[in-house]
Amino acid sequence: MLRYANPKKFLDLSGALLPWLWLAAIGLMGWGLYAALFATPLDYQQGDSVRIMYIHVPSAWMASFIYGVMFIASVVGLVWKHPLADTAAKEAAPIGACFTAACLITGALWGKPTWGTYWIWDARLTSVLVLFFLYLGYMGVWAAIEDRAKAAKAAAILCVVGVINIPIIRFSVEWWDTLHQGPSVVRFENGKLAPSIDPSMLWPLVSMGVGCTVLFVALLFVRMRTDIARRRIRTLLALKAAA
Protein backbone atom coordinates (compact mmCIF):
# COMPACT_ATOMS: atom_id res chain seq x y z
CA MET A 1 0.00 0.00 0.00
CA LEU A 2 2.64 2.49 1.07
CA ARG A 3 4.21 2.30 -2.37
CA TYR A 4 1.19 4.18 -3.68
CA ALA A 5 1.17 6.66 -0.85
CA ASN A 6 3.29 9.10 -2.81
CA PRO A 7 0.98 11.60 -4.56
CA LYS A 8 2.64 11.15 -7.95
CA LYS A 9 2.23 7.39 -7.85
CA PHE A 10 -1.29 7.80 -6.57
CA LEU A 11 -2.17 10.11 -9.44
CA ASP A 12 -0.76 7.66 -11.99
CA LEU A 13 -2.46 4.65 -10.49
CA SER A 14 -5.82 6.27 -9.86
CA GLY A 15 -5.75 7.83 -13.34
CA ALA A 16 -5.24 4.42 -14.89
CA LEU A 17 -7.91 2.77 -12.74
CA LEU A 18 -10.62 5.40 -12.94
CA PRO A 19 -12.11 4.55 -16.38
CA TRP A 20 -12.44 0.91 -15.33
CA LEU A 21 -13.96 1.85 -12.01
CA TRP A 22 -16.55 4.04 -13.72
CA LEU A 23 -17.33 1.28 -16.18
CA ALA A 24 -17.72 -1.29 -13.40
CA ALA A 25 -19.87 1.04 -11.28
CA ILE A 26 -22.19 1.86 -14.18
CA GLY A 27 -22.40 -1.78 -15.22
CA LEU A 28 -23.09 -3.19 -11.76
CA MET A 29 -25.51 -0.47 -10.71
CA GLY A 30 -27.18 -0.42 -14.12
CA TRP A 31 -27.88 -4.12 -14.08
CA GLY A 32 -28.80 -4.00 -10.40
CA LEU A 33 -31.28 -1.19 -10.93
CA TYR A 34 -32.80 -2.80 -14.02
CA ALA A 35 -33.23 -6.08 -12.18
CA ALA A 36 -34.53 -4.31 -9.08
CA LEU A 37 -37.06 -2.16 -10.87
CA PHE A 38 -38.31 -4.51 -13.57
CA ALA A 39 -37.15 -8.08 -13.12
CA THR A 40 -37.70 -8.85 -9.45
CA PRO A 41 -41.03 -10.02 -8.06
CA LEU A 42 -43.28 -7.79 -5.97
CA ASP A 43 -43.44 -8.35 -2.27
CA TYR A 44 -46.83 -9.85 -1.44
CA GLN A 45 -47.20 -7.50 1.50
CA GLN A 46 -45.39 -4.37 0.39
CA GLY A 47 -45.97 -4.29 -3.36
CA ASP A 48 -43.73 -2.04 -5.42
CA SER A 49 -42.41 -0.14 -2.44
CA VAL A 50 -40.09 -3.05 -1.64
CA ARG A 51 -37.98 -1.90 -4.59
CA ILE A 52 -36.72 0.98 -2.43
CA MET A 53 -34.71 -1.67 -0.66
CA TYR A 54 -32.25 -1.84 -3.55
CA ILE A 55 -31.15 1.72 -2.82
CA HIS A 56 -31.78 1.77 0.91
CA VAL A 57 -29.80 -1.29 1.94
CA PRO A 58 -26.67 -0.51 -0.13
CA SER A 59 -26.76 3.08 1.20
CA ALA A 60 -26.94 1.82 4.78
CA TRP A 61 -24.01 -0.48 4.07
CA MET A 62 -22.02 2.36 2.49
CA ALA A 63 -22.82 4.69 5.40
CA SER A 64 -20.99 2.45 7.88
CA PHE A 65 -18.38 1.21 5.42
CA ILE A 66 -17.22 4.73 4.52
CA TYR A 67 -16.96 5.71 8.18
CA GLY A 68 -14.77 2.64 8.62
CA VAL A 69 -12.61 3.76 5.69
CA MET A 70 -12.31 7.22 7.28
CA PHE A 71 -11.34 5.62 10.58
CA ILE A 72 -8.54 3.58 9.01
CA ALA A 73 -7.33 6.59 7.02
CA SER A 74 -7.44 8.75 10.18
CA VAL A 75 -5.39 6.27 12.18
CA VAL A 76 -2.85 6.00 9.35
CA GLY A 77 -2.73 9.80 9.18
CA LEU A 78 -2.27 10.14 12.95
CA VAL A 79 0.31 7.42 13.36
CA TRP A 80 2.35 7.65 10.15
CA LYS A 81 1.53 11.31 9.45
CA HIS A 82 0.84 10.57 5.83
CA PRO A 83 -0.84 13.49 4.01
CA LEU A 84 -2.47 11.17 1.46
CA ALA A 85 -4.28 9.35 4.29
CA ASP A 86 -5.58 12.69 5.58
CA THR A 87 -6.76 13.53 2.09
CA ALA A 88 -8.52 10.18 1.79
CA ALA A 89 -10.35 10.64 5.11
CA LYS A 90 -11.30 14.22 4.29
CA GLU A 91 -12.61 13.43 0.83
CA ALA A 92 -14.46 10.28 1.88
CA ALA A 93 -16.60 12.14 4.42
CA PRO A 94 -18.94 14.07 2.06
CA ILE A 95 -19.53 10.90 0.03
CA GLY A 96 -20.35 9.03 3.21
CA ALA A 97 -22.66 11.81 4.35
CA CYS A 98 -24.51 11.61 1.00
CA PHE A 99 -24.98 7.85 1.28
CA THR A 100 -26.17 8.29 4.87
CA ALA A 101 -28.63 10.95 3.77
CA ALA A 102 -29.80 8.66 0.95
CA CYS A 103 -30.28 5.89 3.49
CA LEU A 104 -32.35 8.15 5.76
CA ILE A 105 -34.47 9.58 2.93
CA THR A 106 -35.18 6.21 1.32
CA GLY A 107 -35.89 4.83 4.79
CA ALA A 108 -38.49 7.55 5.35
CA LEU A 109 -40.03 7.03 1.91
CA TRP A 110 -40.19 3.31 2.50
CA GLY A 111 -41.60 3.85 5.95
CA LYS A 112 -44.66 5.73 4.74
CA PRO A 113 -46.29 2.85 2.82
CA THR A 114 -45.08 0.13 5.21
CA TRP A 115 -45.43 1.70 8.64
CA GLY A 116 -47.86 4.43 7.66
CA THR A 117 -45.47 7.14 8.79
CA TYR A 118 -42.35 8.75 7.35
CA TRP A 119 -40.30 8.50 10.44
CA ILE A 120 -40.32 6.08 13.29
CA TRP A 121 -37.78 6.28 16.07
CA ASP A 122 -36.59 2.79 15.55
CA ALA A 123 -33.14 1.77 16.74
CA ARG A 124 -31.58 1.39 13.31
CA LEU A 125 -32.96 4.59 11.85
CA THR A 126 -31.89 6.51 14.96
CA SER A 127 -28.38 5.04 14.83
CA VAL A 128 -28.07 6.08 11.20
CA LEU A 129 -29.26 9.58 12.11
CA VAL A 130 -26.57 9.84 14.78
CA LEU A 131 -24.04 8.57 12.23
CA PHE A 132 -25.16 11.39 9.94
CA PHE A 133 -24.39 13.89 12.72
CA LEU A 134 -20.96 12.29 13.16
CA TYR A 135 -20.30 12.91 9.46
CA LEU A 136 -21.48 16.52 9.71
CA GLY A 137 -19.33 17.19 12.77
CA TYR A 138 -16.32 15.67 11.05
CA MET A 139 -16.81 17.81 7.95
CA GLY A 140 -17.44 20.82 10.18
CA VAL A 141 -14.05 20.42 11.87
CA TRP A 142 -12.30 20.23 8.50
CA ALA A 143 -14.11 23.33 7.31
CA ALA A 144 -13.53 25.36 10.46
CA ILE A 145 -9.77 24.95 10.94
CA GLU A 146 -7.73 26.83 8.37
CA ASP A 147 -4.35 25.21 8.88
CA ARG A 148 -4.56 21.96 6.96
CA ALA A 149 -2.23 19.91 9.14
CA LYS A 150 -4.10 20.97 12.28
CA ALA A 151 -7.50 20.33 10.69
CA ALA A 152 -6.36 16.86 9.66
CA LYS A 153 -5.29 15.96 13.19
CA ALA A 154 -8.36 17.43 14.87
CA ALA A 155 -10.71 15.69 12.44
CA ALA A 156 -8.83 12.42 12.86
CA ILE A 157 -9.20 12.61 16.65
CA LEU A 158 -12.91 13.26 16.25
CA CYS A 159 -13.22 10.32 13.86
CA VAL A 160 -11.46 7.98 16.28
CA VAL A 161 -13.59 9.19 19.20
CA GLY A 162 -16.66 8.64 16.99
CA VAL A 163 -15.66 5.07 16.22
CA ILE A 164 -15.09 4.36 19.92
CA ASN A 165 -18.55 5.78 20.56
CA ILE A 166 -20.46 4.02 17.80
CA PRO A 167 -20.85 0.71 19.69
CA ILE A 168 -21.97 2.58 22.82
CA ILE A 169 -24.45 4.63 20.82
CA ARG A 170 -25.65 1.52 19.01
CA PHE A 171 -26.10 -0.37 22.26
CA SER A 172 -27.83 2.50 24.04
CA VAL A 173 -30.21 3.09 21.18
CA GLU A 174 -31.13 -0.57 20.97
CA TRP A 175 -31.73 -0.67 24.70
CA TRP A 176 -33.83 2.47 24.39
CA ASP A 177 -35.79 0.88 21.54
CA THR A 178 -36.80 -2.12 23.65
CA LEU A 179 -37.81 0.24 26.43
CA HIS A 180 -40.05 2.46 24.33
CA GLN A 181 -41.13 0.40 21.36
CA GLY A 182 -44.67 -0.91 21.54
CA PRO A 183 -45.05 -4.50 20.37
CA SER A 184 -47.59 -3.51 17.70
CA VAL A 185 -45.10 -2.17 15.17
CA VAL A 186 -44.29 -4.76 12.57
CA ARG A 187 -40.55 -4.96 12.08
CA PHE A 188 -39.84 -5.65 8.45
CA GLU A 189 -36.24 -4.61 8.82
CA ASN A 190 -35.15 -7.79 10.48
CA GLY A 191 -36.16 -9.82 7.47
CA LYS A 192 -34.28 -7.71 5.01
CA LEU A 193 -31.01 -9.51 4.75
CA ALA A 194 -32.11 -12.81 6.17
CA PRO A 195 -30.65 -15.81 4.36
CA SER A 196 -34.18 -16.77 3.31
CA ILE A 197 -34.22 -13.93 0.80
CA ASP A 198 -35.06 -15.14 -2.70
CA PRO A 199 -32.07 -15.37 -5.09
CA SER A 200 -33.96 -13.27 -7.66
CA MET A 201 -33.86 -10.44 -5.11
CA LEU A 202 -30.48 -11.26 -3.60
CA TRP A 203 -28.39 -10.94 -6.77
CA PRO A 204 -29.63 -7.48 -7.77
CA LEU A 205 -29.02 -6.40 -4.17
CA VAL A 206 -25.46 -7.76 -4.19
CA SER A 207 -24.87 -6.12 -7.55
CA MET A 208 -26.07 -2.77 -6.19
CA GLY A 209 -23.94 -3.16 -3.07
CA VAL A 210 -20.77 -3.92 -5.01
CA GLY A 211 -21.66 -1.22 -7.56
CA CYS A 212 -22.04 1.40 -4.81
CA THR A 213 -18.70 0.38 -3.32
CA VAL A 214 -16.99 0.75 -6.69
CA LEU A 215 -18.78 4.05 -7.22
CA PHE A 216 -17.47 5.21 -3.86
CA VAL A 217 -13.90 4.29 -4.76
CA ALA A 218 -14.23 6.13 -8.09
CA LEU A 219 -15.71 9.24 -6.45
CA LEU A 220 -13.07 9.12 -3.73
CA PHE A 221 -10.27 8.96 -6.31
CA VAL A 222 -11.72 11.89 -8.25
CA ARG A 223 -12.10 13.94 -5.07
CA MET A 224 -8.59 13.07 -3.88
CA ARG A 225 -7.13 14.04 -7.26
CA THR A 226 -8.98 17.33 -7.09
CA ASP A 227 -7.70 17.92 -3.59
CA ILE A 228 -4.11 17.20 -4.60
CA ALA A 229 -4.49 19.64 -7.51
CA ARG A 230 -5.97 22.24 -5.17
CA ARG A 231 -3.06 21.92 -2.78
CA ARG A 232 -0.57 22.25 -5.63
CA ILE A 233 -2.23 25.45 -6.74
CA ARG A 234 -2.05 26.78 -3.21
CA THR A 235 1.63 25.90 -2.96
CA LEU A 236 2.27 27.69 -6.26
CA LEU A 237 0.40 30.77 -5.04
CA ALA A 238 2.36 30.74 -1.79
CA LEU A 239 5.60 30.54 -3.77
CA LYS A 240 4.42 33.42 -5.92
CA ALA A 241 3.64 35.50 -2.83
CA ALA A 242 7.07 34.73 -1.40
CA ALA A 243 8.92 35.56 -4.63
Partner 1 sequence: MKGFLALVGRDLRLSFRIGGGPFLGLGFFLTVTAMLPLGVGAKLNLLGEAAAGFLWVSAALASLLSLDRLFQADAEDGSLDQLALGTLPLEFAVFAKALAHWLTTGLPLTVAAPVLALMLNMPEGGYTALFVSLLVGSPVFSFAGAIGAALTAGLRRGGLLLSLVVLPLFVPVIVFGAGAVSAAINGFESWAAFEFLGAVSLFAMVLGPLAGAAALRIHLS
Partner 2 sequence: MTQAVAIAGENLTCRRGDRILFSELSLEARPGVLTLLTGPNGSGKTSLLRMIAGLLKPEAGRIVFRHPDGAAFEEEAAQLIHYAGHHDALKNQMTARENLAFAAAWHGAARDPAAALERLGLKRQIDLPVGYFSAGQRRRAAFARCWMSGRPVWLLDEPTAALDSAGRALVVDLIAEHVASGGTVVAATHEPLAEGAAEFALA
7-10 CB contacts, 8 Å cutoff, 24+ apart: 7/83, 7/84, 7/228, 10/84, 10/224, 10/228
Of 16 and 242, the one with the shorter C-beta distance to partner 2 is 242
Any contact of residue 79 with partner 1 (CB under 8 A)? no
Residue 206: which of partner 2, partner 1, none does it interact with, CB under 5 to 8 A by kind? none
Residues binding partner 2 (CB under 8 A): 146-149, 234-235, 238, 242
3-state helix, strand, coil in the chain (%, to 5): 85, 0, 15
Adjacent-strand bridge partners of 43: 47
Task: Give residue 152's Cα distance to chain centre.
Answer: 19
Residues numbered 209-238 forming contacts with partner 1, rule: CB under 8 A = none
Of 5 and 160, the one with the shorter C-beta distance to partner 1 is 160
Q: How many residues does the chain have?
A: 243
Residues numbered 143-202 forming contacts with partner 1, rule: CB under 8 A = 144-145, 150, 153-154, 157-158, 160-162, 164-165, 168-169, 171-173, 175-176, 179
Least separation in angstroms between residue 126's CB and partner 1 is 8
Of 34 and 133, the one with the shorter C-beta distance to partner 1 is 133
Least separation in angstroms between residue 152's CB and partner 2 is 12
Q: Are 112 and 127 in contact (CB under 8 A)?
A: no
Any contact of residue 242 with partner 1 (CB under 8 A)? no
What CA–CA distance (Å, rounded) separates 87 from 6? 12
Of 42 and 143, the one with the shorter C-beta distance to partner 1 is 143
Least separation in angstroms between residue 2's CB and partner 2 is 20
Pick from 133, 226, 235, 236 the residue near partner 1 by CB under 8 A. Answer: 133
What CA–CA distance (Å, rounded) separates 182 from 5? 52
Q: Is 100 exposed, middle or buried (0-12, 13-18, 19+ CB in 10 A)?
A: buried
Helices and strands of the chain, counted as H and E runs = 6, 0
Q: List contacts with partner 1 (CB under 8 A).
A: 130, 133-134, 136-137, 140-141, 144-145, 150, 153-154, 157-158, 160-162, 164-165, 168-169, 171-173, 175-176, 179
